[in-house]
Each structure stands twice: as structure tokens, then as C-alpha cells.
Chain A
Amino acid sequence: MSFYKKFRLHKKDVHSPKEKNPEKKRVGFFKFSCCTGCGFELAYFQRSLKETLESFDFTFFRLASSAGSPEGPFDLALVEGAVTEPFQIVEIKKIRAASKVLYAVGSCAIVGGIPAIKALAPEMEVERAAYRERLYEMSSTRPHVIGDYVKVDGCIRGCPPGERDLEEALASVLIGKEPEFIEYSVCMECKMAGNACVLLEDGLPCMGPVTNAGCGALCPAHHRACYSCFGLMGQANVPALKGKFRKLGFTEEDIEKRFFTLFGALGETGQ
């Protein structure tokens, strides 16, 4: 479905007809410490690619263009990745100051994601496994989410995010409304999809009850337990699920050190 149709927009709502040369919205896309997957996801934004390019000017998007300046100003800044280096702290503040709206994109930026696993052990112990000579000059810090440093106007969750929230983000900026991002559990999506429950029926450690939806309950649909790649949702009942896992016979070690730390190494903060 097209971008415009989906949001029941008409082109005339978006650009007032009086404007002959409607200014396109200026978007900056910024990468911090991460896999660039969110960037690729946006670049592949295939079904809506044409509409997206008609309404937005990607004035900074290094993955897609060798031109453009990170200075802004931007109507919308999209930021992927966690903060793990001191220079990034300066950068994120500059980006915030140059942008009207700033959305964090992806689990790395929102809950710490995979890079945050580093926070589970003393910094140097983790770094030692990868570097020898340069170990003592590494300035890598404990991973932080974008919201620890600057105000974030919305979270496009996922690893990588689903198309729906990406579209919602762009649409909200286009028509100047508050975005409504998905904020319920994977279980809800799972039940709507009519999947068999892998937690109840197969005893698999499914994180669906506490994980933010948006993937369409992908893992249960493929007969595997959700591993929480979209991150914990707000108001997740974590103790209840931990109790359930205990009853299923999972060890305390598995519960504390595995399931809840793969995409939740920074704890329940970062929400």
C-alpha cells in the first residue's frame, strides 16, 4: 500500500496548493556504534521509495551519498546506534541542536541492543579480548542510549525496525502530528496472527510477553522463542515472566544472564 494511501493523506494536505515549489523536508541520518542495519532498512524502504524521495530531501545520509553536510538544519534527524565513544557525545548534542525533531532508530539507539552487552563486564576485560597493543589507548566507554544524552522525540523500535514505524515517523513530520509508534507486546501481534504459543505449548523461553511489538511476531511464527530484539516495552511485567521461566525449569543463570541481557543489558532503563 502506498505511503499516502496508508495514512489517508492527499498530496494537497501535505503541500498546500498555493506553494508552487513546496520545500521538501530536510532529513539527516546519523550512524553511531552499530551495524548500519537501520540505515540499510531505510535505504531499502522500497515500496515507498518514490513517495519518500518526493517529499524528503536526505541532506545528510553518508551511507547513500558522498555529498551533504552534517551541520543541518534538519526538519528530522534519525539516529541509529549506541553511544560508545566520547566524541559521539559532542556529535549527538550538535545533531540535537540542529534538528526540529529527533527520533532514535533501532534497538542500539533505544535500549542499547547488542553493543550494550559490553556493559555486563568491566570495560577492559571485554576490550582485552579484541586488542592488545592498543588496549591502553582505547577510549571506548560504557554503552549508552541516545536518550541518555539528548531529548528524543520518538523511538522507532526494532533490530531492524519494521516498515510501519518508519512510515509513521516520516508521515508525522510531513503533516506535523505526534507520531503514534507501536507500544504493545509481541504477544498481542502473535495472538492476532493466530500463531501457536511456543511458550505454553512447547515450553520455549519466549520473551514475547515483555517485548515491544512491531515485527509481526516473527519468531513464534517461525517456531522459535522471541529473543526480544525490539527491546522491552514500557510497563513490561518482567517479574511475572521470570517466574514463568523458573516454572518451566530454566536456571537462574539462564534467566538473569541470557534471556534478559541479550537486548536488555542496560536493564529496564532507556525506555
Chain B
Amino acid sequence: MRIKTEYLGRVEGEAGVRFEIKNGRLAELKINIWEPPRFFEGMLVGRRYDEAPDIVARICGICPVSHMLTSIRAIEKAIWFEPGPETIAARKIMAYSQIASSHLVHLVMLALPDYEGKSSLMEMMSARDGAECGKNGETEKAKKTKKAKVKDLLKKFINVKEAFNGITQTFGGRALHPVSMVVGGFTSFPGEKEIDRLLSGLASAEDDLEDIAGLISELKPPRLETASELVCLSDDGGYAINGGRIVSDMGLDGTEEEYEELFEEKEASYSNAKKTRLRERGQIMTGALARVSLQSRWLGEKARKPAFSISLSSSSGKNPFNNIMAQAAELLHFWQECKKLLEASGAEKQKKQKFPGRPPAREGEGRALTEAPRGLLYHSYAIDRTGAIRKANIVTPTAHNYLAMEQDLRRLIEDNIDLPKERLKSLAGMLIRAYDPCFSCSVH
């Protein structure tokens, strides 16, 4: 029996999955990422160092801020520039608000329909599911309540999304491919009034956010245990996002300088994305679940409430389906962190200085690791005396997760091998989506 999905839906980018079951056993399984390569590492060669953030932002339409932040820090290391505290704080705000928006989109628009047995949020809202509802013996009234619930969810989703997007937009100029975040700092900072507006936006989104997180925490993910090593960044000062040591649940401990010695990338004959693994150790899983499992000590009290802490126990950290639980916990955490940072920046009464201009070019190399919404993101650059980029290397979260995704999918199919074809097909899609992959990033 051959099972094939040519073009997966509700994921970022283009990929398919196919597997074959022969005599009750899984014979072959491939996640084929056919997203066309754009060769960013090649396009960057010869461009000036301060153009890189605007170029790499276009790797991805859902995590441009992560690509910008990672490239900016790698480049600043290469040219020996140290940003000031105000810039560091504003970059944190950018990262937190973007991760929250990305999680929100994944949870509500991409993942949730799987749990409702629907193909999309639009279908969840649509009126034309009468036949199906009738089949399940649902009354007209139950159908209406269900629809009202979805409409209500949509309203909450938009409200929360606008609060977080508003933050990225106010600090970055726009939420998607922001303009004011550059090598050297920010070309402008928001004023006190704007900060107040953002804070009241966050306040008005609080209840809706808790409702959405609550809704997610009540879902019942399928069971599965990954054999992957959970990897994330770690920092003594708090929940690590922009830099830190690389750690794992199996005792890994390294620095971002050592990244290329620790990890290796291999091209796959059937895919445009490369597979990344820890040398001599194997597949890893990175992303919200790894972060929440390994950095739980830094989570704010909101995310630690028992209702949301499902993913905090060590055993559930190994079920990739629980990634959505971890994303819900992070949503709450980042809401709190954004609020804290905004209050602190609003309290600073001193006048923001005018941006002094881009720091000058200098020959050097820089490597940086950050936590993007989907996990570990690595950028490295070699810059020459004139400021031209001579070499660039980018390894994205989905390239880090690629091996684990395939291995976990094998396990899932083997565990459920007797299920009918359609069920296996939808289960496979559901697992891949649980990882929240970004195929545009994975190929780039």
C-alpha cells in the first residue's frame, strides 16, 4: 500500500510525504521537501555586510525577525560592534512578539483544524458542513453553538494577534520584514505614547490569550515518543532567545563558536533541504517543546499555572505532538515578558538618542545562534576589509528538525500500522504540522 501526499497543506512552504506499507510493515518513508532553493548563501556573497539583514528577512514570511536578529548579531560580532542596552532590550521585544505571533498562527490556523477533523479554519467556520454534522447526529442547535464558538475564537485570535503584531510593528516599522532594525541598532525608537498604547493592547488581549492557551491545553494529542535529543539555547540570565550555550537533555554543552564542529549537514538525494545532525550523536529536536522542557526554570508564573504545564513534565517533553502545548505555554510567557520589557522601556524617561549610523566595516568572521519560533537558527558570515560578505552559512530550525521529523513519522506509522489508509495519511500530516515546519526556511 502506497500512501502519498504531494503537497502538504497548512504548513509554510512546499513539501510532500510518501511511504509504503508492504506485508504489514513500513517499507519506505520520505519527507520530500521540493520547495525551490533560492541559494541565499550564494546570493549573499559580494553583498555589503549591512544589506544582509534585509536580504535574509526574505528567507521566511513568518519568522523574518529571527533571521534578521541572527544575521545582525553574527555580523556585529564579525565587525567588532557591541550594541547598547537599549538596543538589546528592543531586540528582545522584537523576538518575543514575533515568536508569539508565529505560535498563534500555528496553533489556531494551522494545527487546530487537525483536532477538529477539518481541512482549515475557514472550513471550521463554514456553514456548509450540514451533511457531516447531521451524520454525527448533531442537532441544528449544537451546530450553531459550534459555529458561534469558532467565530468567537477567531475574534480572540485577531485581538491577541494584533496586540503582538502591534509590538513588532511599532518597534520595527512593520511586522513582516521590519525596516528599523539594522546592523548597529534601531534607526528609531517608539515614544512613550506608543509604548502606552502597546501596553493597553496587551492588557486587553490578556483574557483572550488565556482562553486560547486554555483551549489548546485541553486538546488530546496522539501518543508518540521521539528518540531525538532535545536541543536548545541556555543562558544564566533568563529564557534564552538571542544567544547562549547549546544544551540538550542528554548532556550536550557547547558554545555558538563551536556550532560547526558540533553539527553536520548532509544533502539528501530526494530533497532540496539538507539534514542536520549532531556529529556522532544523531538526530535532534529543537523548538518550543525543547525550550520549555529544558528552560522551564525561567518560565514566568503565567505559563507555569497547572492548566498549561502539561508539557513541563519530563516524560511529555519527548512527545513531538506536545509541541503545541509548549507553544501555548510560551505564548503566555512572552506575553508577560513583553509587558515587563515595555514597562521598563516606558519608564526610561531620558530622550532616545538619534541613530548614529551604521557601524563601519571591518574584516572578520561572526557566528550567531538564536531561538526562532521553530527552534535553533544559525548564521555565520565572513566579511572582508571593504565590508563585502565573502562567505555565508545558514542552518534553519526545520533543517535541524528534518531527521527527527522523518524518524518520528516512521515510529508513528509503525505504531499505528493497522489503521486505514486515510487515517494514516491524516496522522502523518498532523505529526509534520506538530513540528510547525517552515519549508521555505529549510531550503532557503
* Distance of B421 from chain A, by nearest CB (Å): 16
CB distance B120 to A65 under 8 Å?
yes
Q: Does B429 contact A (CB under 8 A)?
A: yes
* Distance of B336 from chain A, by nearest CB (Å): 24
Q: Does B62 contact A (CB under 8 A)?
A: yes
Q: Does A218 contact B (CB under 8 A)?
A: yes
Q: Does A213 contact B (CB under 8 A)?
A: no
Q: Does B13 contact A (CB under 8 A)?
A: yes
CB distance B37 to A140 under 8 Å?
yes
Q: How far is A110 from B74 in the complex, measured between Cα atoms in Å?
A: 31
CB distance B177 to A160 under 8 Å?
yes
Q: How far is A53 from B124 in the complex, measured between Cα atoms in Å?
A: 12
Segment from A29-37, A174-182, A241-249 that makes contact with B: A29-37
Known contacts A37-B64, A262-B51; A222 and B39 CB within 8 A of each other: no
A9-67: which residues lie under 8 A (CB-CB) from chain B? 31-41, 43-44, 46, 49, 53, 58, 61-67
Q: How far is A85 from B9 in the complex, measured between Cα atoms in Å?
A: 21
Q: How far is A218 from B62 in the complex, measured between Cα atoms in Å?
A: 20
CB distance A131 to B267 under 8 Å?
yes
- Which bucket holds chain A's interface residue count? 35 or more
CB distance A64 to B176 under 8 Å?
no
B1-53: which residues lie under 8 A (CB-CB) from chain A? 7-14, 36-43, 45-48, 51
Q: How far is A38 from B58 in the complex, measured between Cα atoms in Å?
A: 11
* Distance of A242 from chain B, by nearest CB (Å): 18
* Distance of B256 from chain A, by nearest CB (Å): 21
**B36 — which chain A residues lie within 8 A by C-beta?**
32-33, 84-85, 88, 140
Interface-central residue, A126, A132, A218, by most chain B CB under 10 Å: A126
CB distance B59 to A35 under 8 Å?
yes
**A140 — which chain B residues lie within 8 A by C-beta?**
36-37, 39
Q: Does A130 contact B (CB under 8 A)?
A: yes
Chain B residues with a Cβ closer than 8 Å to the other chain, count: 60
Q: How far is A115 from B42 in the complex, measured between Cα atoms in Å?
A: 11
**A31 — which chain B residues lie within 8 A by C-beta?**
13-14
**B278 — which chain A residues lie within 8 A by C-beta?**
none
Q: Does A8 contact B (CB under 8 A)?
A: no
* Distance of B220 from chain A, by nearest CB (Å): 20
Measured CB to CB, the residues of A under 8 A from B are: 31-41, 43-44, 46, 49, 53, 58, 61-68, 84-85, 88, 108, 113-115, 117-118, 120-121, 125-134, 138, 140, 159-160, 215, 218-219, 221-224, 227, 229, 257-258, 262
7 additional A-B pairs beyond A32-B36, A36-B13, A46-B161, beta carbons within 8 Å, are A114-B55, A114-B58, A127-B37, A134-B267, A224-B180, A227-B54, A258-B47
Could you show 17 A-B contacts with beta carbons less than 8 Å apart? A34-B58, A34-B440, A35-B61, A37-B60, A46-B162, A63-B12, A65-B9, A65-B122, A66-B113, A67-B120, A113-B58, A117-B43, A118-B43, A126-B45, A215-B174, A222-B188, A224-B180
